[in-house]
């Protein structure tokens, strides 16, 4: 009995060590292999469409893949052109309107300074002159230390920002190279997809290949469902924002809604990067009706996303909403707002491992 337990414990440690080694290897090599991983994912997603085009048109594989890739690239650039056009028109509108709003903002700051800060300054000065000389010297030293700290911090911030500019510019050629590599790798994988599939089937044992095939299918369905859920949530948020801005009679509502949909992809921040400064500005210029309207719209967008996200995610990835909700709560506790993105992905991976039988295989290995 003790010998059996010891063997099971050793196998359990082997599984844990293998998981740690695989995770460390993946983390350390991800920076080098991520373009290839992206190319593989894109190829797996596009392959059914290429096969459909090939069966309908009876074209050679090479031409079917070429037409599909060209079509996707044209679709991407067409969508990009639409966004650029909307942003250009919105920029022209902002260039016309911003000077007026900036003038109003400056007048507000001037009024605030004259009515609030200047009387407070006079009170502080009168209080300062009522102190004895030693206290005045101490306060002056504190003020000098504070100004020196602010000046040094500002200088360091400016220097670090300027130092990052060459690094940011150096990213551009690397990004272009990576994008070209991803396109070429995607084309080659799609062109030889069936041959690569047969090679993998010959290399991997039959039993492991069946489980791996099930795992890939479950992961493909779950990841596709996850991103589909995110796109649905972003679409709902964009529609709510567009409807709200039209009700508030905001000009260029479509441009603003497209920008809101774009920033909604950003984790943790989302539409807050648009609404919070906008609400603060309208409040500062005493446009209280717009402030209330934007605040209500922002709360509706946030609440609708929080309410709908567990339900839509669960429907898309095939997991009960309660599990998704618990996972997101635990993810927030462990990783903060990043947990909202990490937790669903881990749930998707765990569900795929369970549905494909991988966890059962590992359990059987430990029990033997």
pLDDT digits (tens, 9 = 90+) for 192-215: 888 888 887 777 766 666 667 777
The per-residue DSSP string of 159-228 comes to HHHHHHHHHHHHHHHHHHHHHHHHHHHHHHHHHTHHHHHHHHHHHS-HHHHHHHHHHHHHHHHHHHHHHH
DSSP 269: T
pLDDT digits (tens, 9 = 90+) for 217-276: 777 777 777 778 878 888 888 899 889 988 988 877 887 888 888 777 665 567 878 888
pLDDT computed for residue 258 by the predictor: 82
Report the run of H or E that residue 277 belongs to, with start and end. Answer: helix 272-284
pLDDT band at 66 (very low <50, low <70, confident <90, very high): confident
Q: How far is CA 200 from CA 61, 145, 208, in A?
A: 20, 68, 11
Of residues 109 and 22, which shows the higher confidence score? 22
pLDDT computed for residue 102 by the predictor: 67
Q: Is the pLDDT of residue 340 over 60?
A: yes
Of residues 339 and 330, which shows the higher confidence score? 330
Tokens of 298: 């922002």
Q: Is the pLDDT of residue 165 over 80?
A: no
pLDDT computed for residue 53 by the predictor: 84
| 8 A C-beta contact, residue 255 and residue 241 | no
| 8 A C-beta contact, residue 347 and residue 324 | yes
Q: Is the pLDDT of residue 46 over 60?
A: yes
pLDDT digits (tens, 9 = 90+) for 104-125: 766 777 777 777 767 777 777 7
C-alpha 284/C-alpha 352 separation (Å) is 51
Tell me the pTM: 0.55
User: What is the arithmetic mean of pLDDT over 76-93?
Assistant: 75
Which among 275, 253, 254, 250 has a CA at the least distance from the CA of 264?
275
Question: What is the radius of gyration, based on Cα positions, of the chain?
Answer: 29
């Amino acid at each position: 009995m003790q010998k059996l337990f010891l063997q099971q414990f050793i196998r359990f440690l082997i599984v844990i060590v293998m998981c740690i080694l695989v995770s460390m290897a993946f983390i350390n090599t991800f920076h080098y292999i991520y373009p290839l991983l992206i190319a593989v994912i894109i190829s797996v997603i596009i392959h059914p469409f290429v096969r459909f085009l090939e069966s309908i048109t009876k074209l050679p594989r090479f031409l079917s893949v070429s037409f599909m890739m060209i079509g996707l690239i044209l679709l991407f650039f067409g969508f990009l052109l639409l966004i650029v056009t909307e942003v250009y028109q919105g920029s022209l509108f902002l260039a016309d309107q911003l000077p007026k709003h900036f003038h109003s903002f400056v007048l507000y700051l001037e009024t605030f300074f004259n009515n609030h800060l200047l009387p407070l300054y006079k009170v502080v000065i009168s209080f300062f002159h009522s102190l004895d000389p030693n206290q005045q010297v101490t306060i002056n030293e504190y003020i000098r230390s504070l100004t020196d700290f602010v000046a040094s911090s500002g200088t360091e911030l400016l220097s670090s920002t300027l130092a990052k500019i060459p690094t940011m510019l150096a990213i551009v050629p690397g990004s272009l190279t990576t994008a070209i590599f991803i396109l070429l790798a995607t084309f080659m994988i799609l062109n030889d997809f069936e041959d690569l599939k047969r090679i993998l089937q010959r290399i991997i044992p039959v039993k492991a290949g069946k489980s791996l095939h099930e795992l890939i299918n479950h992961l493909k369905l779950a990841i596709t469902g996850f991103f589909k859920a995110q796109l649905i949530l972003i679409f709902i948020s964009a529609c709510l924002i567009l409807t709200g801005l039209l009700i508030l009679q905001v000009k260029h509502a479509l441009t603003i809604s497209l920008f809101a949909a774009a920033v909604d992809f950003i984790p943790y921040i989302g539409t807050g990067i648009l609404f919070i400064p906008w609400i603060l500005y309208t409040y500062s210029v005493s446009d209280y009706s717009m402030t209330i309207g934007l605040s209500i719209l922002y709360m509706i967008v946030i609440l609708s996303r929080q309410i709908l996200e567990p339900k839509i995610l669960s429907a898309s990835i095939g997991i009960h909403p309660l599990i998704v909700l618990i996972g997101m709560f635990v993810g927030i506790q462990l990783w903060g707002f990043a947990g909202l993105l990490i937790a669903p992905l881990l749930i998707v991976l765990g569900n795929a491992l369970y549905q494909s039988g991988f966890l059962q295989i590992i359990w059987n290995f430990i029990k033997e």
